[in-house]
Amino acid sequence: MLELKKGIDILAEIGGIKTADAAHKLFAARCDAETLARLSKITNQEALLKIANSISMMNPDAVFVNTGSEADLQWVREYSLAKGEEKSLPMPGHTVHFDLPAEQGRVVDKTLYIVNPGEEVSVLARSILRDEAFEYVKKFMVDIAKGKTLMIGFFNRGPVGAQAAIPAVEITTSSYVMHSANILYRNVYAQFDQEAARAGTFFTNVHSEGTNRPEDFPNMRVFMDRSWLTTFSMLCTYAGNTLLLKKGNHRFAVDLSTYYRRESELSEHMFITGMTGPGGRKTYFAGAAPSGCGKTTTAMVGSDFIGDDLAQIWIAADGTMRAVNPEIGIFGIVQDMNRESDPYLMKALREPGAEVIWSNVLITEDGTPRWVGDGDPPPTRGINYTGEWWEGKLDENGKPIPMSNPNARCTLSNMHIENYNATVAQDPAGVPISVVTYSGRDSDTMPPVWVAKNPDHGVVIGASIFSAATATEVGAKGVRPQPWANEPFIPGPLADYMEAQFVFFNSPKLTHKPVIAGLNYFLTHGARGGEGNKLLGEKRDVKVWLGWLELYAHGDVSAIETPIGYIPRYEDLRKLFAGINKEYPKSLYDKQFSFYVDNILARIARLEEVYRNEKNVLPRLFEVYAEQRQGLEALKAKYGSIVSVEQLIEAASN
Ligand code: SPV
Ligand code: MN
For residue 265, is pLDDT > 90? yes
What pairing do the DSSP bridges indicate for beta strands 515-519 and 449-451? antiparallel
For residue 120, is pLDDT > 90? no
State the Cα angle at 587 between 586 and 589, rounded to 5°: 60
* Residue from 247, 333, 474 whose mutation best tests the ligand 1 pocket (most atoms within 8 A of CB): 247
pLDDT in tens, 28-86: 999 999 999 999 999 999 999 999 999 999 999 999 999 999 999 999 999 999 999 99
SS (H, E, C) 248-310: HHHHHHHHHHHHHCCCCEEEECEEEEEEECHHHCEEEEEEECCCCCCHHHHHHHCCEEEECCC
238 residue type, one letter: Y
Beta pairing partners, 106 = 473
Categorize the per-residue pLDDT at 341 as very low, low, confident or very high, splitting at 50, 70 and 90: confident
Beta pairing partners, 183 = none
CA distances from 85 to 95, 98, 99, 175 (A): 10, 8, 9, 7
- DSSP state letter for 438: E
CA distances from 646 to 32, 320, 586 (A): 75, 36, 12
SS (H, E, C) 394-408: ECCCCCECCCCCCCC
Q: Is 321 in the pocket of ligand 1 (CB under 6 A)?
A: no
Q: Is 489 in the pocket of ligand 1 (CB under 6 A)?
A: no
Q: How far is the CA of 291 from the centre of ligand 1 (A)?
A: 6
Q: Is 472 in the pocket of ligand 1 (CB under 6 A)?
A: yes
Q: Is 268 in the pocket of ligand 1 (CB under 6 A)?
A: no
CA 559 to chain centre: 31
Please report, rounded to a whole number, the percentage of residues in the chain having pLDDT higher than 70: 100
pLDDT in tens, 157-204: 999 999 999 999 999 999 999 999 999 999 999 999 999 999 999 999
pLDDT in tens, 299-322: 999 999 999 999 999 999 999 999
236 is catalytic: no
Q: How far is the CA of 309 from the centre of ligand 1 (A)?
A: 8
Q: What is the pTM of this model?
A: 0.97
Closest CA to 359 of 475, 246, 183, 238: 238
Cα 63 from Cα 36, distance rounded (Å): 9
Cα 251 from Cα 231, distance rounded (Å): 10
Q: How far is the CA of 585 from the centre of ligand 2 (A)?
A: 34
In the three-class reduction of DSSP (H, G, I as helix; E, B as strand; rest coil), residue 205 is classed as strand
Closest CA to 183 of 330, 312, 66, 350: 330
Atom of ligand 1 nearest to the CA of 409: 5
Contact (CB, 8 A) for 601 and 629 = yes
